[in-house]
Amino acid sequence: MDNLVISHLFRHQFGKMVSILTNIFGFEHLTTIEDAIQDTFIQALKSWPNKMPDNPEAWLTAAAKNRVIDIFRSLNAQSERNNQFSNSLEKEEIDAYFLDEEISDSQLKMIFTACHPTLDAKDQIAFALKTISGFNTKEIAAALLSKEDSIKKRLQRARKSIISNQLKFEIPEGTDLHTRLTRVLEVIYVIFNEGFHSNKKDIIVRKELCGEALRLIKLILKNPNLRTSDSYALMALLCFHSARLESKVNELNELIPISKQDRSKWYFPLIAIGNDAMNKALEISPNHSAYHYEAAIVSEHLRAPTYEHTDWKSIAYWYEKLNEFNNNAHTSLNLAIVYLELGELEQAYMSLISIDENVLVDKAYLYHATMAKYYHLSQNKELSIHHIDIVLLSEISPAEKSFFEKNKLEYS
């Protein structure tokens, strides 16, 4: 069996099952729920030694329904003194929780609970990645650039906070909805970025994580109350980026810069969906978020028939707008790169020296890569090689190292 397919299936089903069973039994039994689901997956692997069933999702759903009965009996036996549960759960009652509309509702409730303001911001993301998307602690640590022990503590804190504060498993209303939705969109973007710019040293792109983020934003947009301008703008941004996934890496797992990507591999139906989402975002509100500006930037790349036809002036305009809205080191670095493309070396340098490379943490090598290109274009070979050597001494993937070694040859 294909391990990647199994991994994707289990991750997707994990989040769905956790949400449904939490809706039934409550957060106070989350550990029991997660253990039961993990056991279900183990049983599935034993039952599928050589081949998955024709409909593995239906198999897992049926198994999850059976687990409801098992969990109910176990918890009922533990809590007879306070009659926490009724004497029985009818099959029809269980089936109702597994209807498509109820499944979506349960998942949305889980997302919004994970992003409750009483939880620490970092704990929110870790808990969301665990309960909604089925990440294990190692994957969460990679996504959040943290240690596994720290992630375990974050998950424990989040569970404790949810239970002690008796947070409701619900989608908020009124003004709370907008505030919480903002955080939900941020979490979805974190998930996507870990797929699009993977922190794993041996994998440049993790398509299953990009797909998971797309699934979650689609889930958000199914609910009429959550169809905001920002939600549609994020949908557009994820579609635009995802359309280029097949062209980012070659057969040797080497990173391909956009200047050399095969544009015939870009998935234009997804670009069309992104364009539709962007139009809806603009129809809803004239106000722009970072997602609007980032989507506009990517769309400029997508509309160019060749790299040479890229409208760098428009891209610089959108980056400048983004920088006004959300001034940070990453935006300044990208703006410097665009200025280099335009041959505006002085502006590129001013943007670069405004950056504190330490803020970029593990992405600081990109700052030095851009400095290397600036000095190369400025015909300062010594400093160009100096900065590219710093890049090559950084902790980067083999594919990235190969890419920058080619840059060094070019600059020498």
Residue appearing with tokens 């990173």: 255
Does the pLDDT at position 326 exceed 60?
yes
At 107-126, the pLDDT tens digits run 999 999 999 989 988 899 89
At 13-35, the pLDDT tens digits run 888 899 999 998 888 888 888 88
Per-residue pLDDT band at 141 (split at 50, 70, 90): confident
Whether residue 138 contacts residue 148, with contact meaning beta carbons closer than 8 Å, is answered with yes
The more confidently predicted of residues 325 and 204 is 325
Cα–Cα distance, 172 to 107 (Å, whole number)? 14
Whether residue 96 contacts residue 68, with contact meaning beta carbons closer than 8 Å, is answered with no
Residue appearing with tokens 């797909």: 211
Residue appearing with tokens 């998955």: 52
Per-residue pLDDT band at 74 (split at 50, 70, 90): confident
Closest CA to 366 of 320, 331, 342, 318: 331
Does the pLDDT at position 265 exceed 60?
yes
One-letter-per-residue 3-state SS of 339-399? HHHHCCHHHHHHHHHCCCHHHHHHHHHHHHHHHHHHHHHCCCHHHHHHHHHHHHCCCCCHH
What is the length of the chain?
412
Write the burial class of residue 358 (CB in 10 Å: 0-12 exposed, 13-18 middle, 19+ buried): exposed
Cα–Cα distance, 408 to 388 (Å, whole number)? 6
Cα–Cα distance, 125 to 206 (Å, whole number)? 18
Cα–Cα distance, 212 to 191 (Å, whole number)? 8
pLDDT of res. 325 = 87
The distance in angstroms from the start CA to the end CA of the chain is: 47
Per-residue pLDDT band at 83 (split at 50, 70, 90): very low
Residue appearing with tokens 């004497």: 87
- Residue 302's Cβ-side half-sphere holds a number of Cα atoms within 13 Å equal to 25
Whether residue 199 contacts residue 143, with contact meaning beta carbons closer than 8 Å, is answered with yes
Core vs surface per residue 257-279: b (16+ CB within 10 A) or e? eeeebeeeebeeebbebbbebbe
Task: Write the DSSP string, 32-50.
Answer: HHHHHHHHHHHHHHHH-SS
Which tokens hold the place of 384?
């160009």
pLDDT of res. 294 = 97
Whether residue 107 contacts residue 16, with contact meaning beta carbons closer than 8 Å, is answered with yes
Closest CA to 295 of 276, 267, 310, 309: 276
pLDDT of res. 82 = 41
Domains of the chain (ranges; CATH) run 1-83+93-98 (no CATH), 312-412 (1.25.40.10)
| Type of residue found at 163 | I
249 SS3 class:
strand
What average pLDDT does the segment 127-142 reach?
A: 85
Whether residue 387 contacts residue 368, with contact meaning beta carbons closer than 8 Å, is answered with yes
Per-residue pLDDT band at 200 (split at 50, 70, 90): low
The CA-atom distances, in angstroms, between 209 and each of 97, 138, 346, 411 are 26, 14, 38, 35
pLDDT of res. 399 = 77
Q: What is the pTM of this model?
A: 0.84
What average pLDDT does the segment 76-91 reach?
A: 56
Cα–Cα distance, 93 to 82 (Å, whole number)? 22
Does the pLDDT at position 85 exceed 60?
no
At 344-389, the pLDDT tens digits run 999 999 999 999 988 887 789 999 999 999 999 999 999 999 999 9
| Other residues' Cβ atoms within 10 Å of the Cβ of residue 252 | 8
Instruction: Provide the Cα torsion 42, 153, 176, 215; round to 10°.
Output: -30
